[in-house]
Structure 1
Amino acid sequence: MAMMPLPTGLGGSAPGRKRGPDEMTRLPLRIALLALAFTLPGWQAAAAQNGGAETFDADVTRQVLDSIEFQFSITSFRDQGWLDEAIRQVSRQRTGILRCVNAREKELASMRETIGPELIERISAKEDRTPEEATIAEQVETLNADVTECKLLLEQSGQLHARLTDLESDLKRARMNRKETSVLYNLVHGFAGIGPYHGRRWQTIADTLKDPLLLERAGVVLGLLAGGVLFGMAVKRRIRMPGADRSAAYMSQAAAGFRFLVLNSAPLLIPVVLLLGYMWAARGVEWLGSAYGQLLWLLLGYVVALVLIPVLIHRVSLYARAVLEQELPVRALDIRLACIATLLALWVLEVQILGPEETYQTTQLLARNVLASLIIIGLLEFAFFLKRVPGIPRTGNLIRALSIGLLLLSLILEWAGYRGMSRFLWGGLAFTALVLAGYYLLEHLLRDFYNGIDHGEQPWQVRFRRFLSVGENEPVPGLIWLRLLSVVLLWTVLIVLFLKIWGASDSTMDSLFSMARDGFWFGETQIVPANVLIGILVFTALLMLFRWVRDNLNQKYLSDSRMDSGAREALVTIISYVGFTIAALAGLSVVGVSFTNIAIVAGALSLGIGFGLQNIVNNFVSGIILLLERPIRTGDWISTGSTEGFVKKISVRSTEVQTFNRADVIVPNSELISAPVTNWTLRNRHGRVIVPVGVAYGSDTELVGRLLEEAAAEVPEVVRDQPDLPVRVFFRSFGDSALDFELRCYILDIWYILDVTSRLHFAIDRKFREHGIEIAFPQRDIHIRSGSPPPGGADDT
């Protein structure tokens, strides 16, 4: 890139010309402007890139908001579908506006930080500007104008969103409080049209099933249905639900529950899933929301509900049998829940899918009254039936009593004509119970799944643990994060469903989903919940991957090399920490954490590390030294201070030593570096055994020495063929009660010092017995002197 000539106004001067005081003071300004001349293209490219990524158009956004506001101003316009779409559009536009404000403010702050606020104000106040100064001023003015415009649009969209949500609340409140015709009125005026009404309903279902694609490809559809049924029947014959063992823990029945699900649902579930998949591939995603797609979804949900009900009752009965020692009425519970599920499916079919009937409106209201009353009565009967179920805690009885009161109130409201309020109450209770049952079942199945992986209960779980090179009692790396992720997802879904069941509007749900997808700002930090969950998943996956790479590298490659065990373990440990660091950095980058901020925090903590955490840092550095220099290794026999045993594990902070009494002692690494450490197996495993022996006075000392050497020769672990490690016998001293000898010999493996010492004792004792050598023991002679009593007399004595 060619260097452009320096303008005179920026720093060029004629030769021989002296600089005045004003020009000298302007020299830093000229230098800064010269630097900005090269950095402005980078700012412009970054701004263009951000703008292309956001694709925000203020004019289009203003047109959308003005159009919605105009339609909202029509007082007679109160269509719920339009209102939901309008709130969704405004929420989407607000998200784009917020992105615009944040992006432009970041660009403006970056420019101010680089150029300096004083310099920008000075350039803005000048009238006679150089080309570079004009470019900077234009850039600042453009960014300020964009920020102002985006903030005005943000205020407009906020006010419009508030008005739309207020209207939505008013409409919902009006529907809840609206009084319609009573059950008695509908019974009197709509009973005569029951027959024709149901005939038209069946005709509507038949017309819905006459999908053109189904008629054109009837052979393919029938083949899918027949193949799905046959495959489901084959699965049903091959898989059987194992009987529940009374002695088995109720938490270990996940596999049985899944088998039971497949066994009961395969002949019906598989054909419906195949048909849904085929229609989805042929028609697209939009078809799934059509009337025919809703019918298939309803059938799929109904089949799954009929299958999950026995699974749920089975698990609850196992819990009651194992923990409460009570037998539940399984059959009665199954029948009641299946009836309630059937009534709810009919309600969804009548109200949500088939829709309003124009000709027989009163008959339709009567049919819905009867169906709603049957659902409420079924829920009431089930609530009263639960009173006979043993083991329900006091809190459960309180909730049951409250539910009975709300159901009775909803029945009265239904018959009186307040159907909106009635359906809100009984629908909320019914679907809340359904969601809680699904949560209970899914939470326990996931818990069984993770516990099985942790303990290796099933064959595939054992193979999975073996694939990850996880020991028998070792935890699976990263599994705790998967557990946490599952709990967060379950609770998130549970809260969202509760909000939807108990009247949360579509705009509220869209706002929640938008917040989860786009995040929210906490100060200057943007937190995106979806990215947090994905970051945890990435961290867990990378942690498992590096664990697999480390163990396979250690077992398949490093074990065949000439590298000793200490160096191999040091390399494996370094790989572990590098893998953990990479996994953590990858997870944090997915979350969106700025590593610049982390560096700033780390620098701020350096002072605290220097004072309060110096012991931890000392142990950490000592651990690195131990791993690199390897004065001790895993499996070495060491003694330091009052601790003696073999090294079980060397980590970065501490070393685990297992004593000969099987006690694990955690020794800080700094003590192993600064204090004297005896390593019995540093270079080799040779060791020396010293056996002191005392024989009686009068024994043949030459024979004793020869017998001791022969006893050492009989023990195979004693080194005999190395001149530098000879077997030696010493006549140490003439003791008080014995002639003191000492046998000194070297053994091949110091680990067997006690075994070798014991064998030497046996051999010496046998040799001495054979040759009549007596092993001395301490002897004391007591002399009793007889004579006159002491001067005090006999009495005193």
Structure 2
Amino acid sequence: LDSVDTTNPDIKQLTDIKRDILPLRARVQSCIAEVDQTLQKRQKDLDLLGSQFSTEEPEVAQARIDIASERNNLEKRLAACNYILIQTKDIKERIDATEKASMALQMLSKGVNSRQLLQENFQQLGNWWKIGHKFLIEQSGLQLLSSSDIFSLLGILLFSLWAGRVWRRVLLAKVQNYCVDRCTNFLLALRTCMTNALPILLPSVLMMLYLSVSLPLNPVPFIVQAALGVVFYVLAGVMISAAFNPTSPAVHYLPMKATLALALDRRLKVLLAVVLIGYFLFGTVFAATLSESQNFFTRSVYGLFLVVNLVWVVLLAGWLPGMVKTKGVRSLLVIALLFSLGAEWAGYRNLATFLITGLIGSVAGFGIVWFINTLLKDMFDGLDKGFQPWQQQFRTYMELKENERLPGLIWIRLTSAVVLWGGLALLVLWIWGLSRRGFESIASLLQEGFMIGTFHFVPGQIVLAIIIFSVLCSVTGWLKRTGMPRWLKNTQLDQGARDALVTISGYVGLTISVIIGLSLAGLHLANIAIIAGALSVGIGFGLQNIVNNFVSGLVLHVERPIRVGDWIVVGTTEGYVRKINTRSTRIETFDHADVIVPNSELISGQVTNWMLHDSWGRIIVPIGVAYGTNTAKVRDALISVASKHEMVVTDSPRFPPPTVLIRGFGDNAIDFELRCFIKKIDKRYDVMSDLYFAIDEIFSREGIVIPFPQQDLHVKSWPSAKIESELPHT
């Protein structure tokens, strides 16, 4: 570093030094962390040995000496690593200071202003014609073309124009509007605009290829560079048309007014033409033919057209949806553009180049990222709703219901947003000249990290941990929702066991994902145990009910006293178990109302499960007949009714056949009970209703009377005289 000239430093040399320092700093920091950890272990070993005694065993004394010697060596090594780290930090700070001073000197260097350039070039107008004529004849590359090359180029031009027009007509006739969202609209617009540009694009590409093959490329002739620029101009124009003014049958699809889109299309194409002219003037061999004064004068005139068009585009962008509230930002952008033009005219050309390049690159990068983000958002929405045929097929493969969101897609959305906008931030840093200083600092920060208390926070590891955790969560969600149920269908397990395995596998997958994510983030298992111990205090006070329900949910999945599909009774709630979640269980009543029951109540309270071992169960049908009825006839009729019902069990070795009991002699009737087992106890009310209909029918046919409640009133005396005296006389 001492050999570097601080007054006129070599930026490349400084960059190479900083690049060499980065891996050295990483190794030193790794050494510090490793030695420090080992040093703590040796100190703990010494603490365990305790104080030295005169009567201690020789082996203990020797172990104490060895550990102390190793500790001293480790302390020396740690001091050496810290010294190297301090030195590298000092070198990096000196390089940063040198680069900042050099950049400030370059930005503030002043040349000839535009007024002086105008006077000088106005006096030498004839030189412009001579330079242009000489360049065209001697240096443009046209002098390298033979007559056969010229005729070949004319033939290629005419043939490609004809072929492009024919292909455009044929291809546009076959295009159909199949669009269902913005993504398909963009693809269709890109296809139609590319097809519409074939009469220009095809000749440009073929002529560029022919010139590249037929002419020497060292150095590259101007006509080859110009042909390449035209090709990129046409392709960029196609992209602009596809975004703002698509060719029919494609239609306008972006969230803006069609008139605004048309205005943006025209202005961006004019700006693109200005950029192409700038490439011809300053990006090709033509720039070497101009003198310094002519080059600066050309830059001043060109800067006026460029800034005017950029300001025009910024003003039009203010009418975009969501950009109305950015008036302050747009005003600052316009001021910065005008300031860069003024700096160019005043002679501060390095400052003007720095500003205009940064502003154009930042705005263009933001527009591209916004456009890509819009298309990706539309594609992700299509995966959640199934707009396109391939999205519908994918949702069918994932066995997703209508309006059901794709599991794990939220993590893909988050990752894509981080990649897009994070990439834009890095692009902006690179455009604004931070590739030599900022990127090293960012890379150092991402790789080396910083300390927060006693925790070494490394952003690179944190980002990697989030990405891996997102992927693992998505895989776990897919296994839980699709993979495991599909595989378990081939087993002999019942539905309840399959649901329990799926839920437990989801818990296990989530736990593994969290552990792996925390480990990749740099949090060791010992620290995780400490955090878990600290959280247990909060759990004991504020989250005990949630944890109780969570543990109860695990018990329900392991012991399976209730299963999905069982008919249970919990207190006053009766219905089917529809889902056993982490914290609660959802029960659907017979009125199709969902009742959420905490899992702890299902473990600690009394629960009646009608379908724990099987779906069979007993029903009791009470019935009363009039006194004097033949009881044997009633019994035979009831057994006949029960035996004829398809749901009643009549010949099972496990359960008795239907039976009829006399339960007593009531006030108005002889009370009978028909007891029978049915195959599906959850259909008990339907079966009982069917049996009652059949009993009423057979009793009517057999003349068996079902009495109704009645009461006889016996009057012992009637005070007729008193009543007659109170009656009114007519």
What TM-score, normalized to structure 2? 0.77
Once the two structures are TM-superposed, the CA of residue 734 in structure 1 deviates from its matched residue by 4.7
Instruction: Pick one of 611, 614, 622 that aligns with 1:684.
Output: 614
Aligned equivalent of 2:386: 456
Name 2:15's counterpart in structure 1.
88
CA separation in 1, counterparts of 2:622 and 2:672? Answer: 6
Please list, as runs of the form range in 1=range in 2, the aligned pairs for 1:695-710 lying within 5 A after superposition.
695=625, 702-710=632-640
Shift of 1:685: 0.7
* Aligned match of 2:182: 253
Aligned to 1:71, what secondary structure does the other structure show? coil
Identity among equivalent positions (%) equals: 33
- Distance change (3 Å), C-alpha of 1:427 and 1:102: closer
Distance 1:555 1:99, change over 3 A: closer
1:755 to 674, 686, 701: 686
Q: Give the secondary-structure state (helix, strand or coil) at the position aligned to 2:652.
A: coil
Matched, 1:509 2:439: yes
- Paired position in structure 2 for 1:369: 300
Return closer, same or farther for 1:770/1:132 CA change in 2, 3 Å cut-off.
closer
Q: CA deviation at 1:113?
A: 1.9
CA-to-aligned-CA distance 1:440-486 (integer Å, 9 cap, x gap): 21112221222222333333334444555555555434322222222
- Measure, in 1, the Cα distance between the counterparts of 2:425 and 2:83: 37
Structure 2: distance between partners of 1:382 and 1:458: 34
Which residue pairs with 2:673 in the alignment? 742
Q: Secondary structure at the match of 1:374?
A: helix
Amino acid at match of 1:766: E
Which deviates further from its counterpart, 695-704 or 639-648?
695-704
How far the C-alpha of 1:385 sits from its partner, in A, is: 5.5
Compared with structure 1, are the counterparts of its residues 625 and 696 closer, same or farther at alpha carbon in structure 2 (3 Å cutoff)?
same
Instruction: Work out whether residues 640 and 676 of structure 1, in 8 Å CA contact, stay in contact via their aligned partners in 2.
Output: yes
Q: Tell me how far 1:351 sits from its aligned partner.
A: 3.7
Q: Is 1:242 aligned with 2:172? A: no
User: Map of 1:99-110 to 2, 5 A cutoff?
Assistant: 99-110=26-37
Q: Is the 8 A contact 1:347 1:372 kept in 2?
A: no
| Aligned counterpart, 1:488 | 418
Q: Is the 8 A contact 2:620 2:675 kept in 1?
A: yes
Paired position in structure 1 for 2:269: 338
Shift of 1:160: 1.4
Equivalent-residue separation in structure 2 for 1:743 and 1:586 (angstroms): 62
Task: Using the TM superposition, give the Cα deviation of residue 198 of structure 1 relative to its aligned residue in structure 2, in angstroms.
Answer: 4.9
Q: What residue in structure 2 maps to residue 36 of structure 1?
A: none
Match in the other structure for 1:70: 3
Query: Quick one: structure 1 residues 155 and 742, their matched pair in 2 at CA, closer, same or farther if it must change by over 3 Å?
Result: closer
Question: Structure 2: how far apart are the matches of 1:290 and 1:575?
Answer: 66
How far the C-alpha of 1:506 sits from its partner, in A, is: 3.2
Q: Which has the higher mean CA deviation after the structures are superposed, 138-147 or 294-303? A: 294-303
Note the alpha carbon deviations across 1:193-243, whole angstroms, 9 max, x for none. Answer: 444555677799967999xxxx9xxxxxx9xxx9xx99xx79967984736
Which deviations, in whole Å up to 9, do the C-alpha atoms of 1:646-701 show, x marking residues without a partner?
22233454433333333333333332222111111111111223333345666665
Please give the residue correspondences for 1:610-625 in structure 2 after superposition, counting only pairs within 5 Å: 610-625=540-555
What 5-or-longer segments of structure 2 have no aligned partner? 53-61, 150-155, 209-217
Q: 422, 426, 433: which is aligned to 2:363?
A: 433
Q: 1:480 to 1:290 in 2, by over 3 A?
A: farther
Quote the residue 2:81 is aligned against.
Answer: 147
**Distance (whole Å) between structure 2 residues aligned to residue 629 and residue 426 of structure 1:** 70
Listed one character per residue, the Cα deviations across residues 303-359 of structure 1 (whole Å, up to 9, x for unaligned) are 5543432344379954657xxxx6534433322222222323443554456595364
Q: Are positions 1:357 and 2:284 aligned together?
A: no
Q: Which moved more, 1:506-515 or 1:299-308?
A: 299-308
Whole-Å separation in 1 of the counterparts to 2:635 and 2:659? 9
Determine whether 1:729 maps to 2:660: yes
1:619 is displaced (CA, Å) by 3.4
Question: In the aligned structure 2, how far is the partner of 1:347 from the partner of 1:365?
Answer: 13
Query: For 1:174, which of 90, 99, 108 is the aligned residue?
Result: 108
Aligned in 2, Cα 1:421/1:100: closer, same or farther, shift over 3 Å?
A: closer
Give 2:376's aligned residue. Answer: 446
Q: Deviations over 1:506-554 (max 9, x none)?
A: 3123322443355444444444434433333333334444555667764
Aligned partners of 2:442 and 2:221: how far apart in 1?
26
Change (3 A) 1:768 1:305: farther
Residue 435 of structure 1: how far off its partner (Å): 2.4
Paired letter, 2:177: P
* 1:80-133 residue CA offsets vs partner (Å, 9 max, x unmatched): xx32x244234324434533442343344234323339979x99xxxx999958
Q: Which residue of 1 aligns with 2:97?
A: 163
Provide closer, same or farther for how the CA distance between residues 392 and 565 of structure 1 changes in structure 2, counting only shifts above 3 A.
Answer: closer
State the SS of the aligned residue for 1:685. coil
Q: 1:203-218, aligned counterparts within 5 Å?
A: none
How big is each residue's C-alpha offset from its partner over 1:585-623, in whole Å with a ceiling of 9 and x where there is no partner? 333444333223212322343444455544444434433
For the Cα contact (< 8 Å) 2:549–2:584, is it kept in 1? yes
Contact 2:112 2:347 (8 Å CA) reproduced: yes
| CA deviations over 1:717-747 (Å, ceiling 9, x no partner) | 1222236332233444454555544333221
Please give the alpha-carbon distance, in whole angstroms, between the structure 2 residues aligned to 1:346 and 1:638: 80
**Equivalence map 1:582-731=2 (5 Å):** 582-695=512-625, 702-722=632-652, 724-731=655-662
Equivalence for 1:40? none
Q: 1:580 maps to which residue?
A: 510
Kindly tell me the number of residue pairs found equivalent between the two proteins: 680
Q: Structure 1 690/470 Cα, relative in aligned 2: closer, same or farther at 3 Å?
A: same
Give distance in 1, aligned partners of 2:662 and 2:191: 84
> Is the 1:623–1:651 Cα contact (8 Å) retained in structure 2?
yes
Asked whether the 8 Å contact 1:477–1:543 carries over to 2, the reply is no
Equivalent residues in 2 for 1:26-37, closer than 5 Å: none
Deviations 1:692-712 (A, max 9, x none): 334566666554444333332
Asked whether the equivalents of residues 650 and 656 of structure 1 are also in contact (C-alpha less than 8 Å), the reply is yes
Contact map agreement 2:29 2:448 (CA 8 A) in 1: no
CA contact (8 A) 1:209 1:292 kept: no
1:91 and 1:511 in contact (8 A); partners too: no
Aligned pair in 2 of structure 1 residues 129, 472: CA closer, same or farther (>3 Å)? Answer: closer
Partner of 1:479: 409
1:185 aligns with 2:119: yes
How many angstroms apart in 1 are the aligned matches of 2:723 and 2:530?
Answer: 93
Letter in 2 for 1:508: G
1:253 is displaced (CA, Å) by 1.7
What 5-or-longer segments of structure 1 have no aligned partner?
1-64, 216-221, 277-286
* Structural mapping, 1:304-315, within 5 Å: 305-313=236-244
Structure 2 matches for 1:533-544, cutoff 5 A?
533-544=463-474
1:293 to partner: Cα distance: 12
| TM-aligned CA distance change 1:390 to 1:530, over 3 Å | closer
Q: Does the CA contact (< 8 Å) of 1:685 and 1:748 recur in 2?
A: yes
Distance in 1 separating the partners of 2:266 and 2:719: 107
Q: Is the 8 A contact 2:317 2:323 kept in 1?
A: no
* Per-residue CA distance 1:47-78 (angstroms, 9 max, x = gap): xxxxxxxxxxxxxxxxxx3xxx32224x3x25
Task: Name the CA distance, whole Å, in 2 between partners of 1:167 and 1:239.
Answer: 62
Q: Equivalent residue of 2:492, what SS? A: coil
Q: For 1:755 and 1:275, how far apart are their aligned partners in 2?
A: 84
The verdict on how the C-alpha distance between 1:380 and 1:239 changes in structure 2, with shifts beyond 3 A counting, is farther
Is residue 97–residue 153 contact of structure 1 (8 Å, CA) maintained in 2? no
Secondary structure in 1 matching 2:597: strand
Q: CA 1:320–1:545 in 2, change beyond 3 Å: closer, same or farther? A: closer
Residues 193 and 241, structure 2, Cα contact 8 Å, conserved in 1: no
Determine helix, strand or coil for the equivalent of 1:72: coil
Task: Answer whether contact 1:468 1:544 (CA < 8 A) is retained.
Answer: no
